[in-house]
Amino acid sequence: MAIVFRTIWVIAYRELLRFVQDRPRMFSSFSMPIIFLIIFGAGFGRLIGQMMPGVDYIQFMYPGILAMTVLMTSVMSGVSIVWDREFGFLKEVLVSPLSRSGVLVGKAVGAATIAIIQGAIMLVLAPIVNVPINLGTVLALLPLLLILSLALSGLGLLIGSRMRSQQGFQIVMQLVIFPMMFLSGIFFPVSGVATWLEVLSKLNPVTYGIDAIRQVFLGTEVAGVTVFGHTMGIVDSAIVVAMAGVVFLTTAIWAFNKQE
Amino acid sequence: MDVIEASNLVKRFGELEAVKGVSFSVKEGEIFGFLGPNGAGKTTTINILCTLLKPTDGQAKVNGYDVVKERSQVRQSIGLVFQEPALDDYLTAEQNLRFHGYAYGIPKNVLEPRLKELLEMMELWDRRKGKINTYSGGMKRRLEIARGLLHHPRVLFLDEPTLGLDPQTRRRIWDYIHDLRKRENLAIFMTTHYMDEAENCDRIAIIDYGRTVALDTLEKLKDGVGGDVISVKTEDNEEAMRLLEGQYKLKPDIENGIISFTVPHGEEFLPKFVSGFPLRLLSIGLRRPTLEDVFLKLTGRNIREQEVDSMQKMKNMARMRRH
């Protein structure tokens, strides 16, 4: 058991070390969410006006943008296991006495830590877009961001453990990250849209993550997801995300152990 | 004591039988070479010994631990340098080594002096804060050797340690390896397809098509060829050939006006031959057989003939299509 914990820490430590050393990556993961926030905010903001009493479009979108930062960082860090395989570093890990399962959990923990750091930096934007923020909000956000990023890095790892080359990165971006992003309620509420769109969005675990984050910022009145007539609260949504995460991560560990 | 014992290792990948019953043992403190052409099964064997692959059949023990049943003990007790670099390019040399140290659970007070010792030995101490993507191929290889030794393994596996390096760097790497053996008293198991490099080994196993065709010390392998190779040029080569075959009972070959034959104990043969040979000699030479001669004798092929790389194959195919 001790070896599993040592593995998690060693692997997570390396992820963080890499993150700190790789400045371009640090900035690039902010660029897309911020561009969306600025352009969509400016473009649709006036058109849409108030989403609900007291909440304008940019305020509505901001919690989703925060989640989007976490989404991209987590999935990409998970998929980065392909990079390790291609550049040979994975071999160094595989011949060491480290535990295979611990390697994946360590990757997820590393990815989640990075995602939370990125998320925390995004919080600086909250006052600029008039989203109320205080210590209570931050403390409530932390566990949510943690669960969401662990779950999504599990998804990234699951994809990465099946992928053989980095050419897959582009495909992952287009077939996984973009659909998950647009079908998650970042840009529009998931209820009241076409049924097929609503069904797809409700199957997407990110939707619940975003809904919970939005409720933390803007109060429970903005809750937008109802499943079988039940309106999901913060805790309900967090449980859905956590369950999806457990499924992703255990499947990833299983696939990785089988292959390597 | 034997640090590696392999008996009857077999590895099949579907239809392909890459290793067909290989047995050998490696003693403490020796440099053991696995020599063979590309695709002979060398890397597969190394991967079995270092627990990256499970053998289809047969058994192997490394440092007394079974490579299938006691994998983590095997892993903890061996060092490895792969054919392809396995470093994290974005980290510095020092960070790569520390990662290794943490992964193998080396206590901090042991790790730091050991790290310094090895980096100094490999002459990388001054570059320890440099990122790997600024390192040359030779520096990377040296760093990997340092990393492989960090946790005081008792066996170091080197898979083609000098592949893709220029001749000067190759010689340097060998100096380090010899130096290492003196200091650390560890066994080194290495694969190579360079004949001249295998000469650095104490014992050599020659592997071809997944089988060991010979296993012995360099000297004994060379003796197996039948002694030393003598080449002479005489005034009358035809008469000389007749004399050598008849009177001397040898099997001479003639090529480009030079007669060559093999005799045991060439140094002793030479003076007697020179004083006793009736014809006038224009030149005479003696050389020890090379591993090349050994490989040729054992397999009937030259090791280089098989190294038609894929590039060459493609060129040949393109040429065939054109005609």
- Per residue in B32-45, pLDDT (tens digit) is 999 888 878 888 99
Q: For residue A105, what is the DSSP state?
A: H
Contact assessment for residue B286 and residue B230, using Cβ atoms and an 8 Å cutoff: yes
CB within 8 A of A187, min separation 6: which ones? Answer: A40, A61, A64
Contact across the interface for A14 and B105, Cβ inside 8 Å: no
Neighboring chain A residues of B52 at a CB cutoff of 8 Å: 91, 94-95
Percent of chain A with pLDDT over 90: 35
| Mutation choice for B interface testing from A6, A9, A11, A14 by most B CBs within 10 A | A14
The answer, yes or no, to whether residue B308 has pLDDT greater than 70, is no
Q: In 3-state terms, what secondary structure has residue A81?
A: helix
Nearest to A116 by CA among A12, A244, A226, A6: A12
What pLDDT sits at residue B304?
55
- Domain termination residue (choose one: B170, B191, B221): B221
CATH number, residue B248: 3.30.70.260
Q: Can you read off the two tokens belonging to residue A2?
A: 């001790």
| Domain total of chain B | 2
Write the CB contacts of A100 (distance below 8 Å, at least 6 apart in sequence): A94, A253, A256, A257, A260
Is B174 domain-assigned? Answer: yes
What is the per-residue pLDDT for B302?
63
How far apart are the C-alpha atoms of B258 and B281, rounded to whole Å?
Answer: 11
A13 touches chain B (CB under 8 A): yes
Q: Which residue of B has its CA nearest to A12?
A: B99
Same domain, B202 and B235: no
Q: What is the Cα–Cα distance from A56 to B264, expressed in whole angstroms?
A: 97
Q: Is B104 helix (H, G, I), strand (E, B) or coil?
A: coil
B122 shares its domain with B231: no
Same domain, B105 and B141: yes
The pLDDT tens digits of the residues spanning A111-161 come to 999 999 889 888 988 888 888 888 988 999 999 999 999 999 999 999 888
Co-location of B17 and B153 in the same domain: yes
Contacts of A96 in chain B (CB under 8 A): 75, 100, 103-104
Q: How many domains would you assign to chain A?
A: 1
Instruction: With residue B27 as reference, give the H or E element that holds it.
Output: strand B16-27
Same domain as B123, residue B45: yes
Interchain proximity B52–A88, CB inside 8 Å: no
Question: Above 0.90 for ipTM, yes or no?
Answer: no
| Average pLDDT in chain B | 85
Q: Judge whether B145 and B122 are in contact, CB under 8 Å.
A: yes
Task: Decide if A17 and B104 are in contact by the 8 Å CB cutoff.
Answer: no
B269 domain residue, yes or no:
yes
Selection from B159, B143, B153, B65 nearest residue B104 by Cα: B153
Task: For strands B203-208 and B31-35, give the pairing.
Answer: parallel
| Structural domain containing residue B257 | 226-288
Provide the pLDDT confidence category of residue B320 given band limits of 50, 70 and 90. very low
Task: For residues B78 and B204, state if they share a domain.
Answer: yes
Do A92 and B86 meet the contact criterion of CB atoms below 8 Å apart? Answer: yes
How far B219 CA sits from the closest chain A CA (Å)? 35
Q: Is it the case that residue B310 has pLDDT exceeding 70?
A: no
B8 and B74, same domain (yes or no)? yes
Domain membership of residue A187 as a residue range: 2-259
Burial A87-113 (b: 16+ CB within 10 A, else e): bbbbbbbbbbbbbbbbbbbbbbbbbbb
Same structural domain, B59 and B158: yes
The answer to whether A96 contacts B104, with C-beta atoms less than 8 Å apart, is yes
Interface of B with A in 42-71 (CB under 8 A): 50-52
Question: Is residue A202 left, alpha or beta, with left meaning phi > 0 and alpha meaning psi from -120 to 50?
Answer: alpha
Contacts of A3 in chain B (CB under 8 A): 72
CB B77 within 8 A of CB B120: no
Residues B128 and A34: their CA atoms lie apart, in Å, by 38
Do the domain assignments include residue B316? no
Query: What residues pair up with B258 in beta bridges, in sequence order?
Result: B255
Q: Which residues, 6 or more positions from B23, have their beta carbon under 8 angstroms from its beta carbon?
A: B6, B7, B8, B9, B58, B212
Does A20 lie at the interface with B, CB-CB under 8 angstroms? no
What pLDDT shows up at residue B16?
87
Same domain, B154 and B282: no
Please give, rounded to a whole number of angstroms, the shortest distance from the CA of B65 to a CA of chain A. Answer: 14
Question: If you count residue pairs, one on A and one on B, with CB atoms under 8 Å apart, how many are there?
Answer: 61
Distance of alpha carbon B88 from alpha carbon B133, whole angstroms: 9
Is B286 exposed, middle or buried (CB count within 10 Å of its CB: 0-12, 13-18, 19+)? middle
pTM for this model (two decimals): 0.82
B41 and B158 assigned to the same domain: yes
Does B56 fall in a domain? yes
Q: In this structure, is residue B280 part of a structural domain?
A: yes
Nearest-by-CA chain B residue for A102: B103
**Do B108 and A15 form a contact (C-beta atoms < 8 A)?**
no
Chain B residue whose CA is closest to A5: B103
Tokens of B212: 């060991």
Residue type, B23: S
Q: Partners of A130 in the beta sheet?
A: none
Runs of H (alpha helix) within chain B: 42-49, 71-77, 93-103, 108-121, 137-149, 167-184, 195-198, 218-224, 237-246, 266-276, 291-299, 310-322
pLDDT tens-digit profile of A10-35?
Answer: 999 999 998 888 777 777 778 888 88
Asked if A153 contacts A229 with a C-beta cutoff of 8 angstroms, the reply is no
CB contact under 8 A, B95 and A92: no
Using alpha carbons, select from A67, A25, A109 the residue that is nearest to residue A205: A67
By three-state DSSP, how is residue B124 classified? coil
Q: How far is A24 from chain B (nearest CA, A)?
A: 12
Mutation for testing the A interface, residue in B99, B132, B133, B144 having most A CBs under 10 Å: B99
Name which of A57, A63, A61, A70 is nearest A30 in CA terms.
A70
| Residues of A with Cβ-Cβ distance to B104 under 8 angstroms | 96-97
Q: Which residues contact A214 (CB under 8 A, 6 or more apart)?
A: A60, A63, A64, A185, A222, A224
Give the one of B52, B75, B84 whose C-beta lies nearest to A97's C-beta. B75
Q: Are residues B213 and B230 in the same domain?
A: no
Q: A interface mutation test: which of B63, B84, B102, B152 has the most A CBs within 10 A? A: B102
pLDDT for the residue A213: 93
Neighbours of B205 (CB within 10 A): 26
Q: Which residue, among A248, A5, A61, has the nearest Cα to A147 in the 3D structure?
A: A248
Higher pLDDT, B310 or A82: A82
Which tops the pLDDT comparison, B196 or A212?
A212
User: Is residue B122 within 8 Å of B143, Cβ to Cβ?
Assistant: yes
Same domain flag for B214 and B93: yes
Question: How many residues comprise chain B?
Answer: 323
In a domain, B47, yes or no: yes
In a domain, B305, yes or no: no
- What is residue A175's DSSP assignment? I
Asked if residue B271 is part of any domain, the answer here is yes
Q: Mark B185-198 as b/e (b = at least 16 C-beta within 10 Å).
A: ebbbbbbbbebebb
Distances (CA, A) of B30 to A24, B75, B184: 47, 20, 11
Interchain CB distance below 8 Å, A97 and B105:
yes
